[in-house]
Structure 1
Amino acid sequence: MPSPEAELVVYNWLDYIGEDVIPSFQEKYPVKVKYELFDDIEVAYAKLGQDGSGYDISFPTSVDIPRFRAAGTLLKLEKSLIPNIVNLGPEWADPGYDPGNEYSVPYMWWTTGIAYDTTKIKETLTSSEALWDPKYRGHISMMDDYAETFGLALKQLGHSVNTTDTAQLDAALALLKQAKPLLRTYTNDTVTTMVGGDVWVGMIWGSDLYQIRAELENENHVYYIPEEGSVRGSDTAVIYSGTKHPIAAHLFLNHLLDAKVSASNTNFIGYMGPNEAAKQYIDPEILADPAVNPDKAILDKLEELLDLPNAVDEEYLSRWQALKAGG
């Protein structure tokens, strides 16, 4: 195996890697990892640019892989440097967004739902309508993510999260405008806002509940997938075409796919990975938690976000910008 470069630059979501993952990689290889964080994927994409802009590895959502492939943004992977790719479960070996995992490796998968603080909200919540309930004014959050938040509204209206119907998008925008005066914030860092007590009920990626409970050292927060349905998605790990450290980058992807490293990652951040070989090392409580590892009945209520045509994506984005601007 060729020797790695001396440095590696990684750009990842906030709170989205186990505390031992990078140290164990640096112990294994003579590589210094520069690790930077983001909490808004669109801001991250703008910073990464066409070829990574000096970053080697990042973690885009699977829905974005087809357009990144087409644009030449990603480096085609050299599988001989990623032998641990055989650890992937069969459903992840040939994903539709990247056949054969030629340009990405699956990282973590997740569901989007709603969490609430049972010390503040005594009733059992089951619907997304909770985010429109004036009883919780000033203590509600929605995601700062146009696809996720429009998806929530579209599902509440009985539509697909991937609709191309502008009338349905207008209806979703009107619904979200009704909720806006009730909100405390739009945020993707729901862990911080819920731990701080400012938000009683809000949109959340399911596995963030694990982090909330760990930080508060109690189980006062409950997570549910709205009865109307919601989103299931996955994130990937990729190497950018402008990488200056391609060998180190491949070795890092291989490290992420090591069974024990992958399990350690899941045990720390609470997200399920695609690594079948890792399951024997994952905390049984996580495997049994429907917020992290839901059963088929729950998964059947969910939709994957699709890579929509640019013109359709602009329809979503323009309405989101109008909502955020107050228009």
Structure 2
Amino acid sequence: SDTTNILIDANQVRTINLNQVPNAKTTMEFFQTAPAVNVDGKLYGVPVAWGFIPLIFDADKVKPAPTSWEDLWNPKYKNQLSVWQDIALIYTTAIQLGYKNVYTLDDTQLEAIKTKLIAQKPNIRKYWTTAGELANLFMNNEVIAGMSFGGVTITQLQGEGRNVKEIIPTEGATSWFDNWMIPAKSPNPDAALSYINYFHKPETQKQFAAITGYGITNENAFKLVTPEYSKVYELDNPDFITSLDYWKAVPRRQKYLDVLNAVIAA
């Protein structure tokens, strides 16, 4: 959701007619009407999944349970944490520092974020780049807590019998939603539309939720998922979904990435 408008503005994706993907017509209205996929009354993407960026921890080893992002700076976790090597780390630290303008940070704020993240480095065992990498760090007992992408890692670890939990800390968390988009120069857009339509069948969404742990978007699939899954994403509470801070396009994206790279190199 933070790159869709970049693709739209660059004329890199084509519009989508929902009449050609009828299964997507029951996508949650909040996502279907979002500015990330709607421009000038035209639809450019079909929201497929969503989630939030939580704090993840091994409940058998981290006691008491963390409640704040600040807990990841506690010296007792020296060399035991892992956080995401991604622009989302800048977003999350901005929230931790109390900044409300997460996607339009100025130079002073970015410098404060850099200082904050460098101060955390003694606690970092490894910066992860894929969800599988983070899962392996937990499975190998290299880390006990950190920043997760949400959904997929906890699903993998709990499937292996690990007692891990994810929380939205007291400061909050940023959120995301992914979309199917079709390249403007796609040689076979009809095939892409058929695939999108298949993926939005309620039964397919149910399978997707079980395998990935990500939030699903087709309201007709909500009755098919487990009560535990429904509770994680509060599917019976539309106010929860609309209250989250979803990623947006960052005008100074390269500045954010420069800060991230400086932290990694420090």
TM-score, L = length of structure 2: 0.89
1:257 corresponds to: 200
1:155 aligns with 2:95: yes
Task: Verify the 8 A CA contact 1:195 1:215 in the aligned structure 2.
Answer: no
**CA shift at 1:236, angstroms?**
0.9
Task: Verify the 8 A CA contact 2:95 2:171 in the aligned structure 1.
Answer: yes
Q: Whole-Å Cα distance in 2 between the matches of residues 293 and 186 of structure 1?
A: 32
Q: Whole-Å Cα distance in 1 between the matches of residues 242 and 188 of structure 2?
A: 41
Deviations 1:200-248 (A, max 9, x none): 0010123135413433224x11211111111011111112223233221
Task: Verify the 8 A CA contact 2:15 2:42 in the aligned structure 1.
Answer: no
- Choose which of 70, 73, 76 in structure 1 pairs with 2:9: 70
1:205 corresponds to: 149
Q: What does 1:277-316 align with in structure 2 at a 5 Å threshold? A: 277-289=220-232, 302-309=244-251, 312-316=252-256
**Structure with the larger RCO, 1 or 2 (CA within 8 Å, 6+ apart):** 2
Task: Verify the 8 A CA contact 2:154 2:164 in the aligned structure 1.
Answer: no
| Counterpart secondary structure, 1:223 | strand
1:49 corresponds to: none
2:68 corresponds to: 127
**CA shift at 1:300, angstroms?**
7.7
1:109 aligns with 2:53: no
Q: Whole-Å Cα distance in 2 between the matches of residues 87 and 101 of structure 1?
A: 17
Q: Whole-Å Cα distance in 2 between the matches of residues 296 and 239 of structure 1?
A: 28
Q: Whole-Å Cα distance in 2 between the matches of residues 168 and 103 of structure 1?
A: 33
Cα gap change, 1:294/1:177 in structure 2, threshold over 3 Å: closer, same or farther?
A: farther
1:227 corresponds to: 170
Matching residue's letter, 2:97? L
1:214 aligns with 2:214: no
1:175 corresponds to: 116
Identity %: 25
RMSD: 2.2
Q: Whole-Å Cα distance in 1 between the matches of residues 104 and 241 of structure 2?
A: 20
Matching residue's letter, 2:245? E
Deviations 1:9-42 (A, max 9, x none): xxxxxxxxxxxxxxxxxxxxxxxxxxxxxxxxxx
1:93 corresponds to: 32
Cα gap change, 1:229/1:157 in structure 2, threshold over 3 Å: closer, same or farther?
A: same
Cα gap change, 1:175/1:294 in structure 2, threshold over 3 Å: closer, same or farther?
A: farther
1:318 corresponds to: 258
Deviations 1:273-307 (A, max 9, x none): 111011111122210235x7595786687422221
Q: Whole-Å Cα distance in 2 between the matches of residues 94 and 271 of structure 1?
A: 20
| Counterpart secondary structure, 1:162 | coil
Task: Verify the 8 A CA contact 2:205 2:218 in the aligned structure 1.
Answer: yes
Cα gap change, 1:90/1:207 in structure 2, threshold over 3 Å: closer, same or farther?
A: same
Cα gap change, 1:294/1:156 in structure 2, threshold over 3 Å: closer, same or farther?
A: farther
Matching residue's letter, 2:261? Q
1:139 corresponds to: 80
Structure 2 gaps, min length 5: none
Q: Whole-Å Cα distance in 2 between the matches of residues 239 and 122 of structure 1?
A: 46
Task: Verify the 8 A CA contact 2:14 2:183 in the aligned structure 1.
Answer: yes
1:164 aligns with 2:105: yes
Q: Whole-Å Cα distance in 2 between the matches of residues 294 and 156 of structure 1?
A: 28
Cα gap change, 1:259/1:101 in structure 2, threshold over 3 Å: closer, same or farther?
A: farther
Task: Verify the 8 A CA contact 2:12 2:184 in the aligned structure 1.
Answer: yes
**CA shift at 1:171, angstroms?**
0.4
Task: Verify the 8 A CA contact 1:209 1:221 in the aligned structure 2.
Answer: no
- Choose which of 213, 217, 220 in structure 2 pairs with 1:274: 217
TM-score, L = length of structure 1: 0.73
Task: Verify the 8 A CA contact 1:191 1:208 in the aligned structure 2.
Answer: no
1:81 corresponds to: 20
Task: Verify the 8 A CA contact 2:158 2:164 in the aligned structure 1.
Answer: no
